[in-house]
Amino acid sequence: MSLIRTISEKTAHVGVIGLGYVGLPLAVTAAERGFAVTGLDIDQAKIERLSAGRSYIDAVPDDRLQNVTAAGRFGGTTDFTRLSGCDVIVICVPTPLNAQREPDLTFVTTTAERIARHISAQTLVILESTTFPGTTHDTLRPLLVQSGLALDRDIFTAFSPEREDPGNTRFNTATIPKIVAGDGETAGALAEAFYKGVVDEVVRVRTTQTAEAIKITENVFRAVNIAMVNELKLVFDAMDIDIWEVIDGAATKPFGYMPFYPGPGLGGHCIPIDPYYLAWKARSYDVPTRFIEL
């Protein structure tokens, strides 16, 4: 297949949609690793800053941005017609909650509709946005059919959850292991080949639903553990016990424990939201998620 060769040889043109704290580091890293990358965003102010060589994301210093721009491997735009020239399209848009604390996939669906209007044959479309299991297969794929192109022949779909940790200086986009899955063997092989060209380690799993579940599991795990340690801090404060000393002491155990630290709320804008995505989806299977909801 020509697409797998194009990706493997890094002659594929990559489009990254959504230039926030996930999309911009991915786009710049892919450009640094040799791909030609077009970053797309609906925010004209972001594009103007990037064109001026000024980053708004801490993980991407100005010099990194300027280097790939000067090399001609990265540029930003609000013009979605540029998608027609992309061989790989990566979706990095927000997945918030609505007023009823239910999943709001508006950014994903409107992005998919834009892609369908401009996509060319032999293109890999990857969703990175955190979501509930089944989104790639049941929501993204039917919208891409509007292009008139055939799934699994002209368009291939995959899911690879973002694992960015803003402020963490120990890990970056290239060094964090990347979970990858495709809808079908060909799509999986294409996605694996692409990310192997961008990051140091790729972990391929069997289905996009599994990959989506992995990301939700990671964030539910963090949510319940942070909530627990926040509660323990209140308990130990009342007992005049230093929670930080307790955590440091417990962390000396080499198995069966890992430290979480108290703070305001659950931290960030993902952890308080993502568990609701799983709880909402579980209701369609008549499975209660009382522990998560608590």
Q: Among residues 6, 25, 3, which one has the least CA distance to residue 16?
A: 25
* Res 8 pLDDT > 80: yes
**Residues with catalytic annotation?**
270
pLDDT tens digits, 179-206: 999 999 999 999 999 999 999 999 999 9
Write the CB contacts of 60 (distance below 8 Å, at least 6 apart in sequence): 24, 25, 28
Q: Provide the 8-state DSSP code for 184.
A: S
CATH for the stretch 2-205: 3.40.50.720
Q: Contact, 261 vs 228, CB < 8 A?
A: no
Residue 1: per-residue pLDDT: 60
Whole-number Å distance between alpha carbons of 138 and 178: 23
223, 41 contact by CB (below 8 A)? no
pLDDT tops 90 at residue 166: no
Question: What does the block give as tokens for 189?
Answer: 């092989």
Residue 258: name the closest of 235, 224, 292, 216 by CA: 224
User: What's the CA gap between 159 and 188, in Å, rounded?
Assistant: 9
For residue 266, what are its two tokens?
A: 């659950």
Which residues belong to CATH 3.40.50.720 in the chain?
Answer: 2-205
Nearest to 163 by CA among 22, 278, 279: 22
Q: Confidence band (pLDDT; 50, 70, 90) for 2? A: very high
Q: What is the pLDDT of residue 274?
A: 92
Query: What's the pLDDT score for residue 78?
Result: 98
Residue with tokens 């892919």: 30
pTM comes to 0.95
Structure tokens at 17: 């949609």
Q: 263-284: per-residue pLDDT in tens?
A: 988 777 788 899 999 999 999 9
* Residue range(s) in the chain whose domain bears CATH number 1.10.1040.10: 213-293
Helix (H) or strand (E) holding 13: strand 13-17
Using one digit for the tens of pLDDT, what is the confidence trace for 168-181? 889 999 999 999 99
Residue with tokens 């797998």: 4
Residue type, 292: I
Mean pLDDT of the chain: 96
- pLDDT > 70 in the chain, percent: 100
19 SS3 class: coil
User: Order of strands across the sheet with 74-77?
Assistant: 74-77, 36-40, 13-17, 88-91, 123-127, 155-159, 178-182, 202-204
- Choose the CATH number for 213-293 among 1.10.260.40, 1.10.1040.10, 3.30.70.260, 1.10.110.30: 1.10.1040.10
Q: Are 89 and 125 in contact (CB under 8 A)?
A: yes
Region 219-244: mean pLDDT is 96
Q: How far apart are CA 135 and CA 144, in angstroms?
A: 13
